Amino acid sequence: MIYINRLMEIIHDLVIHFGFNVIAAIAIFIVGRWGANLLSKLVRRLSIKANIDATLSSFLINITYYVIIIFSVIASLNRLGVQTASIIAVLGAAGLAVGLALQGSLSNFAAGVLIIIFRPFNVDDLIEVDGVLGKVEEIQLFTTALIALDNKRVIVPNATITGGHIINYTATGKLRVDTVIGVAYDADIDRVKQVICEVLEKDSLVLKEPQATIAVMELADSSVNFAVRPWAKPEDYWTVYFNTYENVKKRLDAEGISIPFPQTEVHLFQK
Q: How many CB atoms lie within 10 A of CB 232?
A: 22
Specify the pLDDT at position 217: 93
Q: Are 125 and 168 in contact (CB under 8 A)?
A: yes
Per-domain residue ranges of the chain: 2-101, 119-168, 175-254
Nearest of 104, 106, 115 to residue 144 by alpha carbon: 115
Q: Which CATH class is domain 175-254?
A: alpha beta
User: What is the rounded distance in angstroms from the CA atom of residue 225 to the CA atom of residue 248?
Assistant: 13
From first to last of its 271 residues, what are the pLDDT tens digits of the chain? 555 555 555 555 545 556 666 777 778 878 888 888 888 888 788 777 767 666 667 767 777 887 888 888 877 777 766 666 666 666 666 665 655 554 556 788 888 888 877 888 888 889 999 888 899 988 887 888 999 988 999 999 988 888 888 999 888 889 999 999 999 998 999 999 999 999 999 999 999 999 999 999 999 888 999 999 999 998 899 899 999 999 999 999 999 988 887 666 666 777 6
Which letter does DSSP use for residue 206 in this model? S
Task: Name the class of domain 2-101.
Answer: mainly alpha
CATH number assigned to the domain covering 119-168: 2.30.30.60
Q: Alpha-carbon distance 226 to 215, whole Å?
A: 5
pTM (predicted TM-score): 0.60
